[in-house]
Amino acid sequence: MDLLLTSNGLRNDTLRDALRDMLGKPFGSADVVYVPTAATAEPGDHGWLVADMVRLHGLGWRSFDVLELNGLPRPMVLDRLARADVVYVEGGSHYHLARSISGNDLAEGFRSVPVYVGVSAGSMIFSRNLTAHAAEVIGDVADLHVLGATTVESPFGLFDWYLKPHLGSPEFPERDDAWADRIVERADFPIYFIDDETAVRVRDGRPDVISEGRWRFHP
């Protein structure tokens, strides 16, 4: 499974071209599965979800499936993942998303998909440092507790570094360089901070950054 871990979706030509290259074929010859699960744990207006789904759909896929991870029989979910060339996992609560994948025993199904595209929360669930300790370091313990949980772990645990999206985003005005600096001072693990025009691509376990914007890495 190759990973394209974005902050806010396929917002520019560089990110879209990267996905096309990872697929090795046009979007019109590929099947995508869109997973909105992380968004269902977020209250409030979901216009951002609709806008991103429309943008993704507009790329002209051969088929566009929408798959919720909770409530369906596991064999059905696994079968639909197995048919995908790309799984596109939307933003929202990364804690809810991680628990949904682990709790429904779906990690192997995701690993079977050739290309995984994450958006925000969908990009944050691969680090071995997705832990309660990291929640304290990052400052989002309340997001974990609101789900009635005190612990969390990655359903994949593929690498040590952590990813924080939306650096400098107008939708998250608190996420400026000073915010990143405060996290770095507390962190005892590597962190990528990426803006909404950036992604971390992982192929054969090796990360590289593709961007039309700004990003920071702190080892």
Residue 130, pLDDT score: 96
pLDDT band at 47 (very low <50, low <70, confident <90, very high): very high
- Nearest Cα to 90, choosing from 66, 62, 120, 129? 120
Q: What percent of the chain has pLDDT over 90?
A: 96
Which region among 53-62, 146-155, 175-184, 209-218 has the lowest average model confidence (pLDDT)?
146-155
pLDDT band at 150 (very low <50, low <70, confident <90, very high): confident
Whether CATH 3.40.50.880 fits 2-218: yes
Residue 29, pLDDT score: 98
Q: Does residue 121 contact residue 91 with C-beta atoms inside 8 Å? A: yes
| pLDDT tens track for 71-89 | 999 999 999 999 999 999 9
Q: What percent of the chain has pLDDT over 70?
A: 100
pLDDT band at 31 (very low <50, low <70, confident <90, very high): very high
Q: Supply 187's token pair.
A: 């962190």
pLDDT band at 23 (very low <50, low <70, confident <90, very high): very high
Euclidean distance between CA atoms 125 and 135, whole angstroms: 12
Identify the residue whose tokens are 């209250």.
Answer: 43
Residue 217, pLDDT score: 98
Averaged over 166-191, what is the pLDDT?
Answer: 97
pLDDT at 41 over 90: yes
pTM for this model (two decimals): 0.97
pLDDT at 15 over 90: yes
pLDDT at 149 over 90: no
Cα 123 from chain centroid (whole Å): 2
Residue 10, pLDDT score: 98
